[in-house]
Structure 1
Amino acid sequence: MPSEPTILDTARPAPPADAGPPPDAAPPAEPGPPPRRVHRRLIPALAAAWLVPAAAAALHATDLLPLLVLLITAGLLRSGRTLFDRLILAVTLLLGVTAAAGLLFTVWPWGLHPVPVTGLALTVLAFTAAATGRRPTLPRPTWADAVPLALATVILRYLATPYLQSADPVQHLAALLLGEDNMRHLALVDVIGRLGGYPFLDASAAREHLLSQLIYYPQGWHLSVALLDGFVVPPGTGPGGLAAANQYIGWTFATFGLLTLALYWAAQWLPGRLHPLHRLLLAVLVGSLLLGTQLPRLLSSGFSTEALGMALTVVLAGLVARPVNRRREQLVLLGALLVGIAFSYYLFLLPAGLLVLGWLLIARGRALRGLGRTTLVVALATAALVPIVPLAGLLLADQAEAITAASGPDTTESRLALTGLGGVVGVALILAGIRRTGRVWRRYLPVAVTVVAYALGVGGLSIAEGGEPGYYFNKTVHLATALLIVGTAALVRLLPAPGRWRGGGALRLLRYAARGVLATALAVLTAFAGLNATGLVDRDRSLLLADDISWAERFVHPDLTDRIWIARTCVEADRRYPPVPGTVTVVVSKSAIRSYRTSLCLSTLQGTTAQTETGIYGLAFLEPDRTSELLHRIPGPVRLVVVDPLAGRRIERIFRQEPQLRARVTTVAAVVVD
């Protein structure tokens, strides 16, 4: 086993073996024009690009097509030396390209149908292979590729506990209702699947199907989910109902899994070559810091769009701190990632753009020399695509006001994350600078400073508006936390590694054994310190959280008492009372908050969020005022689903006071016992 240079060594570290050359190495020469024989393979490749998806559709095997596209994309990349490197870069590249391609899918006649979508993707890949002269090839899998997969599997298995404890879809819906945003995101995914593209491109038509506040919401994640859903379940014309909710749950976990893999990838990519012992330690640190911070809240609260935007930004930051050794691929990857961030969660676009701009300014001569045409194409495409969603949201939906909101949830945990992880990374970077462990750490410093400064800037903007750092300050701190986790975990590179046995006498054997024992002991102590600091040992409170119970524990062991009642009532009302065209259906309970949540759930399952908007949002959470107000706000026919006797008596009192309401208001019962 090769020895690993550490801070104890005085020699210059060897170039990484699994992640390309160091960032200060001269870029390799780009391949020349492909030979003519490559073009002779283009015609059969183009034929296969359309025959394969058509055959898959005929055999009801379209669910295999996304995997095929992923493997070919990864096979055509040449950046990264391990299979995991290739796959994570290919996934993020495809997510960015898919976000942009959604504009085409929205206007062409086939929508998100799997056959034309796959045919187009394979056609582009065929032309790419012909233009570069490459054949799809993948690195041989090694044990190192299994480490991140094991990490993601363990974390997702733990977090999926409330869903795995029962096979009842109503129980799953109850757990999903813990995050209210899940209902709105599910509604948006459902509408995109039915419309076959982005709703914001035809806002007037979308208002007939979708809650108005979602029309200009960033929809990159939703389009990707709706697109992938179509490969598994044939696209339909009606709402997906409870079955769609269960599929949605799987995509939320897949997104959080991608974030987990992105954090591990960036943490191992940053330092380059790692000893196997350090890879295992890095996985422990990433997992413990992920579970011991606010980040599991992204899953429990339904912040999947933020999770995707964060994953793309983490990968982008890794590429900026340590560029790949293929310059064209570096440019294409950065452009695609910026597009993906803009379409998925553009709150992170500014720091991501600053990181890319900084990299271009620092490495412009070495990185762009001889790539004028590629640079121009990538720059024009990125400049044209990136502003679309942010400008639509800021100019047409006035989302800037929400970003500068001067109130919101408590920010104690955000401050703990910035000071705790920031302090560890700061001290370690100083140590790395003293030890001269490589330029890569100096390149990580601007990454950390940029995201932390951005979070502080958003908080300062809220203070300047006369309030306190609030909702979106916490969001920006989530990103800073993720990249500080990357820096903290990557510091395992500074620990000594076991040496390589080269034979010799007893004294050399003793030194070899002593170094191995020291390295193992330090790794174990570091792992224990990480697990203990994040509250994963003896279930102590994490030093990065304000409460004794972590966000992960709250999600794994939730109190579903009220949510189960809401889910049962919602499903029962959906079963008994299908939507009626021209009639607004809302649920009325003894509690205003129950009425709101159950109506939100029912409108999502029935695909009526546009029709029920005035009867759900903007109403007082006080009865009987809420019921009376919604009856006056909805101008046409109304169907009230009465779910308890107290609500029924309240409605009768309103009818006695205003008998004219009986002409357009119908009451039906769907009582579910608590």
Structure 2
Amino acid sequence: MTEQADAPVRRGDGPGGRFPRFPALAVGLLAAAWLIPAALQLVDADWLLPPLLLLGTASLLRVGTVLLDRLMIAAGLLGGAVIGSGLLFSVWPWHLSPMAIGWFGLTVLVVVGLVLRRRPQLPRRVLGTDLLILAAPVVSWVLIRKPVQGQSFSNMLPYTSARQDFFNHYALYDAIHRIGGYAFTHPAAARHYVTTPNEYAYPSGAHFLYVILDVFRTSSSNPGDSVDEFVRYYQYEALGVGLLAMAVIWSARWVAGPALTGWRRALVCSVVGGMAVLGQMSALFWQGYDGEVIGLAFLAMLFALVVQPPARVREQILLAAALIVGVVYSYSLYFIFIGVIVVCAAVVYRKRLLRYWRFALVTAVVAIPIAAVPYVMAQIHSYGTQGLFTQGGTTLRFSRALSLFFGVVAVAPLATRAGRRLPRWRVVAPVILISTAISTYEGYVGYQATGMTRYYYEKMVEGTWTMSLVAFGAVGLFLKSALAAPAGASRLGVSRRRHWLTTEIPASVAAFVLGVTVSSGFPLTKGPEWSQGPRPIQDVSWAALWAGGSITAPYAHALAMYGQHYQFGDGQATALLYTDSAADNMHATMFLSILNHDLGTMGFLGMDGSDNLVSLQPPAKGQDLSDAAKYALQRLELWLRAHDPGFRVVVGDNYLARLLTEWSAQNPDMRMRIDIIRGLS
């Protein structure tokens, strides 16, 4: 059950809702805020602090009359606040110490509670569809983790390395973890870890959240062994996709409002949940879109809480500010959608907001400079939007037919009298229409320049897709409840209970089965093997395709063979040359580099252009290598010479190994190690 946008704003918290002003109580609470993190640190139980902070935040809010609503809203507020506070954590002396962050968080909660004189309170009401929302991350986790469950690190490699974007994001996470804050606050140190010189300016709110989760989980700001750190990060990536599914389903229920009950609510949640957990959205995981995943989760919640605002305007403003920070820091591209959402909502709810313009102004003065930091950094370091939609890149195309269907459902309320009367649908429709128009224009820009739509246009489509899923509750306007309770049931509790048991619950179960079925949930169809190519096949469950082990990395076998002879992350700068594809050699070498934390000194991109060397054969007597082979070999030798002495090259038992061994003997100052693994290919 959500709150109506036009509910009266109450002053105070009612009887028993306020703290009395006792100085002794304030001192005691502040002491507890400092003693609890210290005690948990002593017993290595800092992992208890995140749920404690979540419950504390939820207990001080007054929006949401359902327990799960309150917790979800608190999670959005807390996530955005942690990301914004990362600017402070990056520069204060304690950096990412879990105890220091715990002190800070609990102290803020105590001070806010005392200033507002609010007693901690949580609603007790639950809804049947809470189970669907809570089940989403569990099902998502099981499907995503299935290929690697119980596997050794080497056997996990085909899946942990499915795309090189996994490496890029882990490298940024590793940089934040090891320098103790946002990479862009310590650029000189960050360059040692990240994949390209300006990669430290990439939006890293999601990576920062994962680091904070890790320091609480391990009770230490020291990331430890790189292999263990990489495995934990892979787990956080899977968790992030589950949280996205949870956020989208909850947001759809919130936007639908309290009028959508019973089987209709179950239908909306199951359709949206099926699309988020089993459909195309699940493919964001194995494509390695970590920042986008968390950015979409924040965007979904922002869209929901702005178009269907809580009764308390001040809390709505604070929530919007925190979620905007979360979106921009996680995936700055979506600042375009933020502007559309805020402007459309401000127009519809202008009278409501004008009553609190001073509070809104103060919040904006604080939040806008914080939110602007990643966008400014992106503009300075060439991650801006200029030329973005003509850049290349490979990605799975979301179904245009499904995108159109959900978009039409989102704007359909304007065709009904009831929809035009409800303010939320007067916000939803223009947001979807304008966002779709912007996305279409950006696709046109890329098509005009290159003859095809480009990578970041697909990102825009995924943003509008997510908002359309959130607005799917609009379908409730066209689903008249034919299962009304019998006359007089409101006075006869037994009749109402019998109606729910015999009619409403079976109808809700049927609606759930129907919703999951239409989203490719039943059956979990895998479709063709991924080896046939990344075609946009829409009538399969992409989560099942991944869980079946069809999507793997081409260089995983070579990495596994490497792992049989060497220790990953041993600190030895290494190049792996196992195939004629310079791109695959480059990505395998990149993986070894991130585990050594030496990407900044490897310059692995210089390997590009050294194709077709592994299959070189000794030339016939009296002949020489071809000009193309000579050129590729010269490029490789120049790249090797650019590194510090002591570099290691791992190759198969082939002619290239002989050439490199001869070159190493001719350049003893390089102290080059040429190691041969028989059968490496």
Short-chain TM bin: 0.7 to 0.9
Equivalent position to 1:650, from 656, 663, 668 = 656
**C-alpha displacement of 1:139:** 1.4
Please name the residue that 2:335 is paired with: 349
Instruction: Tell me what 1:142 maps to.
Output: 126
Aligned equivalent of 2:282, options 293, 296, 309? 296
Relative distance call for 1:291 and 1:514 in structure 2 (3 A) is: same
> Are the counterparts in 1 of residues 607 and 636 from structure 2 also a CA contact under 8 Å?
no
Change (3 A) 1:469 1:153: same
Tell me if the contact between 1:96 and 1:339 (Cα under 8 Å) persists in the aligned partners: yes
Distance 2:415 2:636 in 1: 62
1:280 to 229, 254, 266: 266
Once the two structures are TM-superposed, the CA of residue 31 in structure 1 deviates from its matched residue by: 6.3
Show the counterpart of 1:49.
33
Look up the equivalent residue of 2:650 and give its one-letter code.
Answer: V
2:637 alignment partner in structure 1: 631
Amino acid paired to 1:395:
I
Corresponding residue for residue 19 of structure 1: 2
How far did 1:137 drift? 1.5
The question of 1:558 aligning with 2:549 is answered: yes
Superposed CA offset, 1:577-614 (max 9, x none): 7214xxx4221213434422321221122212212224
- Which range is displaced more, 312-321 or 522-531? 522-531
Partner deviation per Cα, 1:83-140 (whole Å, 9 max, x = no partner) = 1111111111111111111111111111101011110111111111011111222112
RMSD: 3.3
> Is the CA contact 1:270–1:322 (under 8 Å) kept in the aligned structure 2?
yes
User: Measured at CA, do residues 519 and 432 of structure 1 come closer, stay the same or move farther in structure 2, by a change above 3 Å?
Assistant: farther
* Contact 1:541/1:547 (<8 A) preserved: no
Check 1:221–1:402 CA distance in 2 against 1; reply closer, same or farther (3 A cut): farther
Shift of 1:487: 2.2
Structure-to-structure mapping, 1:239-278, within 5 angstroms: 240-273=225-258, 274-278=260-264
Deviation of the 1:19 alpha carbon: 1.4
Q: Secondary structure of 1:37's match?
A: coil
Shift in CA distance, 599/657, structure 1 to aligned 2, threshold 3 Å:
closer
Partner of 1:114: 98
Indicate whether 1:183 and 2:154 are aligned.
no
Structure 1 residue 394 and structure 2 residue 379: aligned?
A: yes
Match of 1:7 in 2: none
Match of 2:323 among 327, 330, 337: 337
Deviation per residue, 1:229-257 (Å, 9 max, x gap): 11122446576322112211221122111
Q: Does the aligned pair in 1 maintain the 2:98–2:220 contact within 8 Å?
A: no
- Opposite residue 103 of structure 2, the aligned amino acid is G
- 1:326 counterpart = 2:312: yes
Q: Is the 8 A contact 2:651 2:676 kept in 1?
A: yes
- TM-superposed CA distance for 1:201, in Å, is 1.3
Give, in whole Å, the separation in 2 of the partners of 1:355 and 1:386.
16
Aligned match of 2:594 in 597, 604, 611? 604
Q: 1:361 to 1:638 in 2, by over 3 A?
A: farther
In structure 1, distance between residues paired with 2:121 and 2:413: 37
Residue segments in structure 2 that go unaligned for 5+ positions in a row:
528-534, 615-628
> Which of 406, 428, 434 matches 1:421?
406
Deviation of the 1:484 alpha carbon: 1.5
Provide the C-alpha distance between the structure 1 equivalents of 2:22 and 2:357, rounded to a whole number of angstroms. Answer: 22
Q: Which range is displaced more, 591-600 or 92-101?
A: 591-600
Other-structure match for 1:546:
537
For 1:239 and 1:195, how far apart are their aligned partners in 2?
13
Q: Does 1:68 align with 2:74?
A: no
Show the counterpart of 2:454.
470
Deviation, structure 1 residue 411:
7.6
Is 2:574 the partner of 1:585? Answer: yes
Matches within 5 A, 1:158-177: 158-164=143-149, 166-177=150-161
Q: Deviations over 1:347-391 (max 9, x none)?
A: 11121122123323432332241451x223211112211111111
380-389 or 230-239, larger mean C-alpha shift: 230-239
What code does the residue aligned with 2:586 have? Y
CA distance in 2, matches of 1:195, 1:36: 43
Q: 1:51, CA displacement in angstroms? A: 0.8
Distance 1:296 1:207, change over 3 A: same
Contact 1:413 1:546 in 2 (8 A): no
Deviation at 1:214, TM superposition (A): 2.0
Residues 576 and 92 of structure 1, relative CA distance in 2, 3 Å threshold? closer
C-alpha distance in structure 2 between counterparts of 1:198 and 1:155, whole Å: 29
Does residue 1:571 correspond to 2:563, yes or no?
A: yes
* Deviation (angstroms), 1:285: 0.8
Q: Is 1:667 the counterpart of 2:674 in the alignment?
A: yes
Q: Are positions 1:197 and 2:220 aligned together?
A: no
Q: Among the aligned pairs, what percent are the same residue?
A: 26
- Secondary structure of 1:575's counterpart equals coil
Alpha-carbon shift at residue 627 of structure 1 (Å): 6.0
Question: Whole-Å Cα distance in 1 between the matches of residues 395 and 327 of structure 2?
Answer: 26
Matches within 5 A, 1:470-509: 470-492=454-476, 494-497=478-481, 498-503=483-488
Q: Does 1:206 align with 2:190?
A: yes
C-alpha deviations, 1:250-277, integer Å up to 9, x for none?
A: 2112211111111111111112123233
Equivalent-residue separation in structure 2 for 1:183 and 1:317 (angstroms): 31
Consecutive unaligned residues in structure 1, runs of 5 or more:
1-17
**Does the 8 A contact of 1:76 with 1:137 survive in 2?**
yes
CA distance in 2, matches of 1:36, 1:523: 45
Contact 2:251–2:300 under 8 Å retained in 1: yes
Q: Is the 8 A contact 1:151 1:287 kept in 2?
A: yes
Aligned to 1:367: 353
Superposed displacement of residue 623, structure 1: 2.6
Amino acid across the alignment from 1:228: L
Query: 1:125–1:630: structure 2 CA closer, same or farther, 3 Å change rule?
Result: farther
Q: CA deviation at 1:566?
A: 3.7
Partner SS, residue 349 of structure 2: helix
Structure 2 Cα separation of the partners of residues 444 and 620 of structure 1: 52
Q: Residues 80-119 of structure 1: matches in 2 within 5 Å?
A: 80-119=64-103
- 1:312 aligns to 2:298 (yes or no): yes
636-645 vs 200-209, which moves further:
636-645
Aligned pair in 2 of structure 1 residues 531, 595: CA closer, same or farther (>3 Å)?
Answer: same
- The 1-side partners of 2:49 and 2:64 are apart by 24
| AA partner of residue 653 (structure 2) | P
